[in-house]
Structure 1
Amino acid sequence: MCNSTANIHFVYGIAANLFAVLLYGSNLVHIKKVETGDGMFFQWVNCAGIWAVSLVGNLLLNSPKFYPLAMLGGVIWATGNVAVVTILKAIGLSLGILIWGSASLLMGWASSRFGWFGISAQDVSRPLLNYCGAGLCMLSGMIFFYVKADVEPHPSSDSIPLLLNGRTSSGNYGPNFSEFWMDAQGPKTRRFIGCLLAVVVGLMYGSTFVPILYIKNHSSCHDSIFYGASMYDLDYVYAQGCGIFLASTVYFVVYCAAMNNKPKVYPQVILPGLLSGLMWALATYCWFLANNYLSSVITFPIVTAGYSLVAALWGSLIFREIKGLFNCVLLFFGTCVVVVGSVLTAFSKY
């Protein structure tokens, strides 16, 4: 009976992870053909969409107790999200998400497996499989560094209107795309900066859930302020969403001040940004639901490797970012390695 229940939970967890993978891997696809400028307005709209979905979810869950510490994970995520548009412009959707997915995977796996940042270490039944899986995922990240992407920094459009002043980029007074600092960099410099930022962003994304794990780990400690805290991961999504929206708002205000109250705001970004936030928030709910059936040391490799693969397929097959036989072979080999690594890690608990 116990084995049957465990198998059912495993199936539910994998199903929730699958939805998370599809949503995470596709949430940035619809901005590929939309001019986002320096990305600051996009990230604010995106985070507003995430907060709106988390608010609805919080009401549906009857407003569970709010823990401000859970907001810290949202702040960390929003900090990394600021660089997403820069990464996409520098190295593309497929390569960017593959690299930050690998870095996120390793950070999330290591913090859960070894108990970093004050959380309890999670044991697995087959440690060798777990370590081999993590090692393969690290190898895949190294392989992706050698893949070269052919990326268009800006979508082909004759006129990109601005929301605040109604001017267009094709007019004499419109914003020049070269004003974005990344556009002034050469191909090699752009690639180096994009890869470096992708690693940093991945490490931040991989640390997003640490505050929630910390709260849950200390819920049974009588002398802890988190004593009696909920073990249901979905109860913390709203707090994380608040942290995301608060941090993104602060960053956008600072950006507006730095731009002398003349931010680059493109109207085409609004609906895609909100849709991206909606998809990301729903994916997070699916992921958190999976954590109730599988531990995070299992779900992290599955989700991060999975959404990286989905994004790679979008970027290479639809947007043609990866060209040339050598690059395609490297991309295929790297994705095979990361899939095998995630499968080994998933089954290491059973």
Structure 2
Amino acid sequence: MTSNGTDLAIGYLSSSVAVLLFGSNFVPLKKYDTGDGMFLQWVLCAAIWLVALVVNLILRCPKFWPFAMLGGCIWATGNVAVVPIIKTIGLGLGILIWGSFNAITGWASSRFGWFGMDAEEVPKPLLNYIGAGLSIVRGCSLAVISGILYGSTFVPIIYIKDHSKRNDSIYAGASQYDLDYVFAHFSGIFLTSTVYFLAYCVAMKNSPKLYPEAVLPGFLSGVLWAIATCCWFIANHSLSAVVSFPIITSGPGFIAALWGVFIFKEIQGLRNYLLMILAFCIILSGTLCTAFSKI
């Protein structure tokens, strides 16, 4: 297998693992009372940071770029709304909606070079456009906002990588391997979630609502999310963000919908089952178009 073929295989395998874990990472929390979600978010983000610490040690502590923390700050801000979304519109629908806006924001910013990034080209742009379009054909305000924030989370890292090739940039010589930025990115997540939690404690007059029974499920959810995101970093490196974003952001919605159908009974009735099958066909078509646009 050629080097390019190896990269593609690694990229698609990483994308598959990310899709499975992103679609399942909230499952451990579904049956537990998580209240307003502020305490849960802090537990989840603590688990995320611990995974990042392990990865950073395995990579022998690559250079820390503080700007890469900004993406983590953006993600943590979007994540504040996750628990209310799941409680109000369900796990499956919530992931479908924010995944759609996650996909369009992340894909478009990479494809067209928004926010100072270099525009990315693919051998078959028409297939890439069709794949991205099919991946976001789903459409609740919190989920939309979360999706847009989630879609911007990799912008600082891609910006650093793009500007590392320019000798006049402060990021000249920065690593091109996405996983080298995971510790800074996850540190931004943990720092921001801690600030939000402390602000919440102040607002609650030092009487925050704590839910001890959600600690272990929340920690497990954080670990699953962190592993999935590490796989996403690898997929970004192997495939480029313009390909990985539509695949990884559209697939979890279907996985979550399967959990909703077979375990949590959120989706019932023949009509809803047929709509879910139609959604799966659209997502699969979008994923395949996006994948083939790279070949």
Fold equivalence (TM over 0.5) = yes
Aligned counterparts, 1:275-314, within 5 A: 275-314=220-259
Deviates more, 1:4-13 or 1:339-348: 4-13
CA distance, structure 1, for counterparts of residue 252 and residue 39 of structure 2: 24
How much has 1:304 moved relative to structure 2?
1.2
Say which SS state the counterpart of residue 143 (structure 2) adopts. Answer: helix
Match among 180, 186, 194 for residue 241 of structure 1: 186
Could you say if the C-alpha distance between residues 138 and 22 of structure 1 is closer, same or farther in structure 2, counting changes exceeding 3 Å? Answer: closer
Say which SS state the counterpart of residue 292 (structure 1) adopts. Answer: helix
2:228 pairs with 1:230 = no
Give the match for residue 133 of structure 2: 135
Aligned counterparts, 1:195-234, within 5 A: 195-234=140-179
Question: Percent sequence identity over matched residues?
Answer: 60
How much has 1:131 moved relative to structure 2?
1.2
CA distance, structure 1, for counterparts of residue 88 and residue 155 of structure 2: 29
CA distance, structure 1, for counterparts of residue 261 and residue 141 of structure 2: 21
Q: Deviations over 1:242-273 (max 9, x none)?
A: 10001000000111111111111010111111
2:57 pairs with 1:59 = yes
CA distance, structure 2, for counterparts of residue 262 and residue 317 of structure 1: 38
* Equivalent pair of 2:136/2:250 in contact (CA under 8 Å): no
2:245 pairs with 1:330 = no
Aligned counterparts, 1:1-350, within 5 A: 4-139=2-137, 141-142=138-139, 195-350=140-295
The structure with the greater share of residues assigned to helix is 2
Cα RMSD of the aligned pairs, angstroms, is 1.1
- TM-score w.r.t. length of structure 1: 0.82
Q: Deviations over 1:10-41 (max 9, x none)?
A: 11211111111111111100100000000100
CA distance, structure 1, for counterparts of residue 60 and residue 114 of structure 2: 32
* Equivalent pair of 1:72/1:211 in contact (CA under 8 Å): yes
Unmatched segments (≥5 aa) in structure 1: 143-194
Structure 1's consecutive aligned runs of 4 or more residues displaced over 4 angstroms after TM superposition are none
CA distance, structure 2, for counterparts of residue 24 and residue 137 of structure 1: 16
CA distance, structure 1, for counterparts of residue 110 and residue 152 of structure 2: 10
CA distance, structure 2, for counterparts of residue 316 and residue 96 of structure 1: 14
Q: Deviations over 1:189-238 (max 9, x none)?
A: xxxxxx21111101111111000000000001111110000001011000
Unmatched segments (≥5 aa) in structure 2: none
Amino acid at match of 1:240: H
Amino acid at match of 1:107: T
CA distance, structure 2, for counterparts of residue 13 and residue 106 of structure 1: 20
CA distance, structure 2, for counterparts of residue 329 and residue 258 of structure 1: 46
CA distance, structure 2, for counterparts of residue 266 and residue 8 of structure 1: 45
Say which SS state the counterpart of residue 251 (structure 1) adopts. Answer: helix
* Equivalent pair of 1:301/1:346 in contact (CA under 8 Å): no
CA distance, structure 1, for counterparts of residue 224 and residue 172 of structure 2: 33
Say which SS state the counterpart of residue 16 (structure 1) adopts. Answer: helix
Amino acid at match of 1:344: C
* Equivalent pair of 2:14/2:231 in contact (CA under 8 Å): yes
CA distance, structure 2, for counterparts of residue 138 and residue 21 of structure 1: 15
CA distance, structure 2, for counterparts of residue 132 and residue 13 of structure 1: 20
CA distance, structure 2, for counterparts of residue 76 and residue 316 of structure 1: 31
CA distance, structure 2, for counterparts of residue 6 and residue 64 of structure 1: 25
How much has 1:5 moved relative to structure 2?
2.6
CA distance, structure 2, for counterparts of residue 346 and residue 118 of structure 1: 25
CA distance, structure 2, for counterparts of residue 200 and residue 343 of structure 1: 27
* Equivalent pair of 2:76/2:192 in contact (CA under 8 Å): yes
* Equivalent pair of 1:233/1:288 in contact (CA under 8 Å): yes
CA distance, structure 1, for counterparts of residue 223 and residue 259 of structure 2: 19
Say which SS state the counterpart of residue 216 (structure 2) adopts. Answer: helix
Paired positions, count: 295
Amino acid at match of 2:131: G
How much has 1:60 moved relative to structure 2?
1.2
CA distance, structure 2, for counterparts of residue 57 and residue 37 of structure 1: 31
* Equivalent pair of 2:34/2:211 in contact (CA under 8 Å): yes
